Amino acid sequence: MHDANASIEAVWRIESTRLIATLARMVRDVGLAEDLAQDALVAALEQWPQDGIPHSPGAWLLAVAKRRAIDQFRRYQRLDRKRDDLGRASNGEATAPDFADLIDDDIGDDVLRLMFVACHPVLSTEGRVALTLRLLGGLTTDEIARAFLVPTTTVAQRIFRAKRTLAESGATFEVPGGDERSRRLASVLEVVYLIFNEGYAATAGDSWMRSALCDDALRLGRMLAALAPEEPEAAGLIALMELQASRLRARVGPDGAPVLLLDQDRRRWDRLLIRRGLAALERAQQLRPAMGPYSLQAAIAACHARAWRPEDTDWERIVALYDALVQISPSPVVELNRAVAVGMAFGPAAGLALVDALAGEPALQHYHLLPSVRGDLLSKLGRFAEAGREFERAAIMTTNAAERKLNADRAAMALEKAV
């Protein structure tokens, strides 16, 4: 029985996204689509251990869910028989939607539609992330809660509110066109990258990384890039994530402690992911030579990926890429990252001047990387006492335990040198 349930769980991981996507197109309601898919899963758990997994499990699940949908529509029509807008046939009999006509549509389009709905701008950021991982990542509510270190009830409430908001807003289950498509695509890209970043540099908890979230984001990004091959920023995003993910094994030491970029053993970088990332970046540049924000960040990551040794890094090119990024996607965080690159390309004093100019930015007042970067630049200038105080500030502001220890250790080392 255990083996059967494990097999069913594996099938569900593979088929659930396509199943929910197809059902959502049929019933035009994401919440109802997931309920129907869950009903089909329950049926599988009841029947497959005795009968065996069918030859085409996805089709089996869809057939069961479709029958449940038809039964439900007919039940609603019987209950609301007096209403004229429930699709009575000309002979006065209530009829369910003709799902047979809908089943032959392109499954890829269904998944893309589901992506746009799950990441709809009417939803909160937390709601978009939770709904995307639930519907498109195939994660359970418990798994999402563990990944983000929040209570299961919190995630369940986010998903419930997101579904209710979609239903109340009248959000259409369509891939938008024109300017609306660009706006909605930006929301999808943002959600996928938020998921990746939370895995790449966890904001809280004991571990610096949660690689399972990176895997989920990569899966979603690859799916999006395949479903929207004409979108340069979809290619740019997957290029960025592939290149950053190539460093995951080298970002922690044997004891789980963080290892900063310039200290990493580059022999541990994943060359396959680097090749995939560089190929995706090339596709993005072919689609649109004037790179967007994700493509520019991927190009920066590519500069690191191409350098076999830290001293081989083309920091001047990285500064130029940050200059372009500041123009199209300005933010204090981008300016801070640019300051790091300037410090590497033109000396720590030049970088420190830029960092000091950002000291009054409201968005950076509680951002631990501001004092961390400043401490690093001060240390390179031999101003160890000041550097130590900055690292201490960074440690206090950091909510991740592993990163807090890293900054505390750097503070101790700097203060020891200052004596």
Give the pLDDT confidence of 83-121 residue by residue, as tens digits.
555 444 444 444 444 444 444 445 568 899 999 999 999
Task: Look at residue 202 and give its three-state secondary structure.
Answer: coil
pLDDT at 94: 41
pLDDT tens figures, 165-213: 998 988 878 888 888 888 899 999 999 999 999 999 988 888 889 999 9
Q: In the numeric block, which tokens belong to residue 296?
A: 């520019």
Q: Is the dihedral of CA 320, 323, 327, 328 positive or negative?
A: positive
pLDDT at 205: 85
pLDDT at 74: 77
Q: Is 297 exposed, middle or buried (0-12, 13-18, 19+ CB in 10 A)?
A: buried
Please state whether the predicted TM-score (pTM) of the whole model is above 0.95.
no
pLDDT at 341: 98
Task: Look at residue 297 and give its three-state secondary structure.
Answer: helix
- Note the Cα 240 to chain centre separation in Å: 12
pLDDT at 352: 98
Between 384-397 and 401-418, two packed helices, what is the crossing angle to 10 degrees?
A: 160
What domains lie within the chain, and their CATH numbers? 2-102 (no CATH), 314-419 (1.25.40.10)
CA 89 to CA 40: how far, in whole Å? 29
pLDDT at 362: 94
Q: Which residues of 74-86 are buried (b: 16+ CB within 10 A; e: fewer)?
A: eeebeeeeeeeee
Query: In one letter, which amino acid is 263?
Result: D
Distances from the Cα of 28 to the Cαs of 21, 114, 172, 254, 255, in angstroms?
Answer: 10, 10, 7, 50, 50
The low-confidence residues of the chain, meaning pLDDT below 50, are 82, 86-105
Q: Are 341 and 319 in contact (CB under 8 A)?
A: yes
Q: Give start and end residues of each alpha helix (H) in 201-231.
A: 211-227
Q: What's phi and psi for 206, nearest 5 deg?
A: -90, -25
Q: In the numeric block, which tokens belong to residue 230?
A: 């004409």
pLDDT at 255: 87
pLDDT at 79: 58
Distances from the Cα of 377 to the Cαs of 119, 169, 193, 239, in angstroms?
Answer: 39, 49, 28, 30
pLDDT at 80: 59
